[in-house]
Amino acid sequence: METATFASGSSRELEAALRAVDGVLATRAGTTEGPASDAVEVDYDPWKVSYEDLLEVFWAELDPGRPSAIFPHTVEQHAAAEASRRRAEQRLGPLATEISPSGGRFRRSAPS
């Protein structure tokens, strides 16, 4: 199992989209420090879904003008996030997406 953390202005929609991906084991809504505090933490099976596939879901759900962030947990995730952002900017134009290491200090939201 591996973990991915993404933050965007529409974390509820992002969480639903990520939860629907085959290979995603669990999602948690919460907050992170940084420009886009609403976040989703994802546990996934890398044998069934790649981190790159999760990044594609992130870009598909993103409002390019709103602050967002990717919080890589590994060096490999960081490299994949940087390459993915470059490709996304070619399609979408300039993005307000930060790539910040350390998993963004994710804090789970209190249950409602």
Domain of residue 86, CATH code: 3.30.1060.10
Indicate the SS3 state at residue 8: coil
pLDDT tier, 38 (very low <50, low <70, confident <90, very high otherwise): confident
- Distance, CA of 15 to CA of 80 (rounded, Å): 20
- Please report whether residue 109 resides in a domain: no
Res 2 pLDDT > 70: yes
Q: Which range of residues forms the domain containing residue 77?
A: 2-102
Res 34 pLDDT > 70: no
Q: How many domains does the chain have?
A: 1
- Distance, CA of 29 to CA of 11 (rounded, Å): 7
